[in-house]
Amino acid sequence: MARSLEERLKETLAGVEGSDSKLGEELRAVRDGRARAEAGAVRESLRGPVGPDGGDLARETIVLRTGRPVLAVVNDEAQLEFRDVESEVWRSRLQAAKEALGKAIRAVGRIEVEHHDLDWLGTGWLVADDLVVTNRHVAHEFGLRRGEGFVFRQGIGGRMAARIDFLEEIGGSTSREFKLSKILHIEDDNGPDVAFLKVDQVSGDSLAAPIQLATTTPRSQQRVAVIGYPASDSRIPEQDLMRQIFGNVFDKKRVAPGQVTRLEGGLVLHDCSTLGGNSGSVVLDLETGEAVALHFSGRFLEANFAVPAQTVSEVLRGVREGVSRPSPAPRRTVEPAAAVDLDPSGTDITIPLRIQVRLRPRPQTTTMLPTRRSPRRRGPRTTQTGRAMRRTSSEPRSRSRPSTTTATS
């Protein structure tokens, strides 16, 4: 029997409260305070009590927004403003991590494309001075392998092109765009969900410092934050909950704190609140400011999955040294044998046969690209590339509102 949304919320919150005693104490206080407030409102209401299921669901939603908030980014800083109930626990932790967060925020951008039916595809971040890392399934949208290298795909009305915008903040009309001039590497389908893109330096504007990759294995309950660009997803059944968690604001840079839940199958699992558009987001260690993983997918209210930083580092090392990771072995074809005239009295034929089956565990998740919608035109905006420039109304850019899949806990 399928569990109700309320049951799934309570299970998610039980995990949070059980693994973080200080935050758990605060969340229980929030829950108790809301219950008392609701009881008082019912006694004073002339319309009678609110149904218990509706009250419990609303209460648990508020507790989740407190325990796993999604914060706005303005002027390259996370805004420590919490909806409904102030979280002193997260305020204190994020304030302590302000410097590390600020450096990482400036290195995270939104990957945008031309001649594609979407305006943007996901998130990427500087992993070296002129190198952006993102997910394979993001880069596949505009790039493909040709020979020993990679090229941009032919798109709608021309060859696709890509850039990265390190702003796209809530309430802002400015951008800080850099051209993604070359596709350096897209992992094969049997490898980790990783791709590397070369970013061009713009005269008069400098790139942020890259985010360092952690060299140690992440640990369970390690406090982290995902920085990226969550997009609305019409495919998620719990639309009201999605809008409440993300404040009904999408496509903009956000910070979502949480923790590593476990390591499984060579992946890092975490419980930060994410959606589609977060593909390629950095999973940042709040203590060290290093990247512990590259987020790529998730299941709503269940788990999020990320490629460990050590794996990203291994792939990057191979790209720099010109050493490709092993590709799947080519399939061998068997030529049919020549016809044999058999003796009617019977002939025994022994045929050597070997069957090899290779199973590779893969989480049953949904990758997190924006879903397609009909394009609409973007209005004027300001671009920061050394100096501010106003995009005129004669230079509109088509845009499909990204709406994509999934993961929050």
pLDDT at 310: 97
Question: Which pLDDT tens digit goes with each residue over 255-285?
Answer: 999 999 999 999 999 999 999 999 999 999 9
Structure token pair of residue 348: 């025994």
d(C-alpha 377, C-alpha 399), whole Å: 6
Q: Where are the alpha helices (DSSP H) in 231-302?
A: 239-245
d(C-alpha 269, C-alpha 298), whole Å: 9
Pairing of strands 376-377, 291-299: unpaired
Q: Where are the alpha helices (DSSP H) in 3-152?
A: 5-19, 21-44, 52-67, 88-96, 98-106, 136-139
Cβ atoms of residues 302 and 264 within 8 Å? no
Cβ atoms of residues 94 and 258 within 8 Å? no
Structure token pair of residue 328: 């799947």
**Coil/strand/helix, residue 173:** coil
Domains by residue range for the chain, with CATH: 1-67 (no CATH), 108-210+380-395 (2.40.10)
Residue 356's nearest CA partner among 336, 328, 327 is: 328
pLDDT at 231: 95
Adjacent-strand bridge partners of 56 = none
Residue 319's nearest CA partner among 147, 153, 195 is: 195
pLDDT at 371: 54
Q: Which residues contact 159 (CB under 8 A, 6 or more apart)?
A: 115, 152, 153
**Coil/strand/helix, residue 174:** strand
Adjacent-strand bridge partners of 225 = 257, 284
pLDDT at 301: 83
Q: Where is 158: in which H helix or E strand?
A: strand 158-159
* Chain mean position to CA 211: 16
d(C-alpha 196, C-alpha 182), whole Å: 9
pLDDT at 326: 52
d(C-alpha 6, C-alpha 340), whole Å: 69
Structure token pair of residue 26: 């605060």
Cβ atoms of residues 403 and 276 within 8 Å? yes
pLDDT at 386: 33
Residue 306's nearest CA partner among 134, 189, 166 is: 134
Adjacent-strand bridge partners of 294 = 282, 307
d(C-alpha 189, C-alpha 369), whole Å: 16
Q: Which residues contact 154 (CB under 8 A, 6 or more apart)?
A: 160
- Radius of gyration from C-alpha coordinates of the chain: 25
Helices and strands in the chain, H and E counts:
8, 26
DSSP 8-state class, residue 386? S
CB atoms within 10 A of CB 29: 13
Adjacent-strand bridge partners of 116 = none
Q: Which residues contact 251 (CB under 8 A, 6 or more apart)?
A: 110, 120, 168, 229, 230, 231, 232, 277, 401, 402
d(C-alpha 249, C-alpha 231), whole Å: 8
Positions in the chain short of pLDDT 50: 42-53, 327-344, 360-364, 373-409
pLDDT at 368: 58
CB atoms within 10 A of CB 388: 10
Structure token pair of residue 393: 């109304």
d(C-alpha 242, C-alpha 14), whole Å: 19
pLDDT at 349: 55
Q: Which residues contact 30 (CB under 8 A, 6 or more apart)?
A: 62, 63, 66, 85
